[in-house]
Structure 1
Amino acid sequence: MTVMDMPQLDTTFSALSDGTRRAIVARLADGEAPLSELAEPFDMSLTAVSKHLRVLSDAGLVEIEKRGRTRHCRLRGAPIKEAVDWLSKYEGFWIDRFDALARHLAKEDKD
């Protein structure tokens, strides 16, 4: 499958391009949480956090369920797995580059 056949990647990376949204995803990796709890660490309104959650939800990264008056959020792993699978294809390339850099630096230290 080519990257052109993976439109979810664009949506996932776009949603994760913001630090607040990455922090929300990191928190939800620990388990489901109500919106009010997710908003606590941020110096912004509940409405602003809701907008970030909407972006994550639209990207398929977060599921929001209303129970009574409370919105509960949970992480959905499939889009993240797709991104990790795509990125892992480049792991060998970067390992080779870092190994080459280490060899170069070690050679310079000897000179």
Structure 2
Amino acid sequence: MPHHLMNLRHVPDDEADEIRGLFEDHAVPFYETPPSRWGISMGGFWVHDDAEAERAKALLEEYHRQRREQQRARYQEDLAAGRTGGVWWRIRHKPVTTLAACLAILVILALTVAPFITL
């Protein structure tokens, strides 16, 4: 029976490429199904054999631990260098984009709530 190893919905291309390389380097016989354009099917990496599934899951767990550490270190570097930040950083550095997003939120909220207010 096939074993689903990982969902590919919202996975960046670089991460998917690294995982393909990881499986190929360790000779894990996997196959891949792509996610649908409309988000109906999730897609993912699959294997058939139970033993291979356990081995692949262990490889994925180690890979994700390393990637998490790398991404956290990169985020901390960006914070220290002032390339990213929280809400106030976004308001100061990207005021037009932030204002447009806030206006869109207010319009959607008004359109959603208006029928109930006019009752």
Q: TM-score, normalised by structure 1?
A: 0.31
Structure with larger RCO (C-alpha < 8 A, sep 6+): 1
Query: Normalising by the residue count of structure 2, what TM-score does the alignment of the two structures yield?
Result: 0.29
